[in-house]
Amino acid sequence: MAKNMRQGLTANSSQFTLNGEPIRILGGSIHYFRVPRAYWSDRLLKMKACGINTLTTYVPWNLHEPERGVFDFQGQQDLEAYIREAGRVGLWVILRPGPYICSEWELGGLPSWLLRDPNMKLRTTYPGFMKAVNSFFDELMPRVVPLQFHKGGPIIAVQVENEYGSYAKDDQCLPFIKEAMLSRGICELLLTSDAHDGFKCGGVNGALKTINFQKLTPEVRKHLEKMAPEKPKLVMEYWTGWFDVWAEPHHTFKAEEMVSIVTEILKLGMSINLYMFHGGTSFGFMNGATDLGTYKPQVNSYDYDAPLTEAGDYTTKYHLLRELFAGYHSEDLPEMPLETPKEAYPSVVIGQYLPLWESLQLIAPHESERPVNMENLPVNNGNGQSYGYTLYETNITGGGMLNSRNHVRDRALVFVDKRFIGILDYKTQELPIRNGQGEQKLSLLVENCGRVNYGEALDKQHKGLIGNIELNHVPLRDCTITSLEMKPGFVNRLSSLCWKPLGQETGLPAFFQGTLIVDGVPSDTFIKLPGWSKGVVFVNGQNLGRYWSIGPQQTLYLPGPWLKTGQNEIIVFEEQKKGNDIQSTCSPHLAKTS
């Protein structure tokens, strides 16, 4: 980008101008943290070839500051490289650095260590929150400030927070976030974005209000009419599809309907950003959850029924949009890049297994009189446990009724002397335990299924056991607590243990290991686990995400660049029911068919 261009994105009339010239934003969202780095440029080129001129991306604070004061902007997290790549491809960038991002992402992108403070008030001017935001922005902003348009970079606008109008707990929060950006050198156009539930309370002085929706409902039309006529109108999130939660149907949104609404938006003279243009994957334990009365964790796939699929392939939506957007360009659109090859590999035979109980020797447990929630456990240099499972164990001397008092977050497999006796979750809060002889060990393997990313309950996203569990009305005491975070270091160390050949008597939960052989250059594939029940898949130590037979998602996207020629280790952590083998397929199955 030429350094002599000085007049950034301006919103002083009904049309945006950039460097004094009218510009209509034809934007699309692709999140660098949801696309393997090796594919960033492929997806951005496909975006450019569709006639999009602006990339929008969130910045997930939890990935960039996994422990307080420990920052990661390398490799997959190299935000600057991503923005530069967009610039090279010829895209402008609208940056959405939150610090809260929503986005079906764990705790809306906020680091879970914030919740160690019992008085924490997220997304407010509570001093503990402001201090953490300031120190994150001290690291983040100097990286993006030089990439702004005024400095010759591609960033033409920056969003302040995200849909604050629907949260609106503190009217000083947006001014604080805005000031935290300005004081660190952000000088491009500022925006806020809100959907219908936030129209009333959204916005901050000095930032352009934008709007989020999928359909031009009467309410949306009314709001559009009310929006300042002397300002450009931008649909900051035009929802091209929707996300999925476990146990509910897969969402789709008809291509023709979508394109006719986009056509109308453009005819009305508005700018638009397609959320998502390409959704990608919330790999590992990074999915969020919805809780509007009932807690519903989201699946790993963030396909979103977007114009590019989860694996970056073209869809009808892409082709129709390309035709439409071509009319808004004076030059021909670039050629569409080829799709990446997909392959169904021969099924992987399970070679050996390791009961969960035997893996515990790799982790130092913590003794505590009472249960301690994940975030307050003394692990990770005083930052607590963020993700994964936590095992709570204690000795009991008789049976009776176990009552969780609704303190399980989110789901616990319960064992007596390593024998599975049932599940405790939000619905099931009581479990009978049979009388045994003498002392028995009670174990609760509690899974954080994903923290809520939207709504009132953000401050209450503590996981693990968040209070007492009772046996016959008596709170259990003297707990041994083990953090099973399942980070790559742990998964790689598993191979040092004594794995067993498969036999009839396989005890669960357990890790199952197999080898995927790749001849030649690795291709993308989709892992399928027919006959298995629920667990997590690791490939070469990397956490792909969770599978759960209840669906809707039935396959896990495995990007080719994460495989190598030759042997690849697959480890499946299965909670309850082992299948025969690990399969792969050329195409995703995101909806449950049976």
C-alpha 411/C-alpha 105 separation (Å) is: 19
Annotated active-site residue 237? The verdict is yes
Counting residues that bind ligand GLA (by CB under 6 A) gives 9
Compare residues 258 and 445 and give the one whose CB is closer to ligand GLA.
258
Q: Which of 54, 57, 77, 103 binds ligand GLA (CB under 6 A)?
A: 103
Alpha-carbon torsion, ordered 405, 406, 408, 414, to 10 deg? 60
Buried b or exposed e, range 144-166, using 16+ CB within 10 angstroms: bbebbbbeebbbbbbbbbbbbbb
Q: Which of 104, 161, 163, 393 is labelled catalytic?
A: 163
Sequence-distant (≥ 6) Cβ neighbours of residue 370 within 8 angstroms = 468, 475, 477, 479
Q: Quick check: 177 binds ligand GLA (CB under 6 A)?
A: no
Least distance from ligand GLA to the Cβ atom of residue 16, Å? 21
Compare residues 100 and 562 and give the one whose CB is closer to ligand GLA.
100
C-alpha 377/C-alpha 372 separation (Å) is: 6
Give me the residue whose beta carbon is nearest to ligand GLA: 102
Q: Which of 161, 188, 237, 447 is labelled catalytic?
A: 237
∠ CA 138-140-146 to the nearest 5 degrees? 105
C-alpha 64/C-alpha 84 separation (Å) is: 18
Tally helices (H) and strands (E) across the chain: 10, 33
Q: Which two tokens stand for residue 144?
A: 């993006």
Q: Quick check: 115 binds ligand GLA (CB under 6 A)?
A: no
Q: Quick check: 102 binds ligand GLA (CB under 6 A)?
A: yes
Q: Quick check: 192 binds ligand GLA (CB under 6 A)?
A: no
Q: Quick check: 148 binds ligand GLA (CB under 6 A)?
A: no
β-pair partners for 511 = 354, 573
Compare residues 237 and 485 and give the one whose CB is closer to ligand GLA.
237
Of 442, 487, 445, 484, residue with least CA distance to 465? 445
Least distance from ligand GLA to the Cβ atom of residue 240, Å? 10
Q: Quick check: 299 binds ligand GLA (CB under 6 A)?
A: no
Q: Quick check: 305 binds ligand GLA (CB under 6 A)?
A: no
C-alpha 300/C-alpha 545 separation (Å) is: 6
Q: Quick check: 104 binds ligand GLA (CB under 6 A)?
A: yes
Annotated active-site residue 179? The verdict is no
Q: Quick check: 162 binds ligand GLA (CB under 6 A)?
A: yes
Q: Which two tokens stand for residue 539?
A: 């490939």
Site for ligand GLA in 193-232 (CB under 6 A): 195, 212
DSSP, res 251 = P
C-alpha 384/C-alpha 218 separation (Å) is: 47
Least distance from ligand GLA to the Cβ atom of residue 104, Å? 5
Q: Quick check: 298 binds ligand GLA (CB under 6 A)?
A: no
Q: Which of 163, 303, 393, 447 binds ligand GLA (CB under 6 A)?
A: 163
Least distance from ligand GLA to the Cβ atom of residue 435, Å? 49
Q: Which of 85, 106, 161, 237 binds ligand GLA (CB under 6 A)?
A: 237
Binding footprint of ligand GLA on the chain (CB under 6 A):
102-104, 162-163, 195, 212, 237, 243
> Annotated catalytic sites, by residue?
163, 237
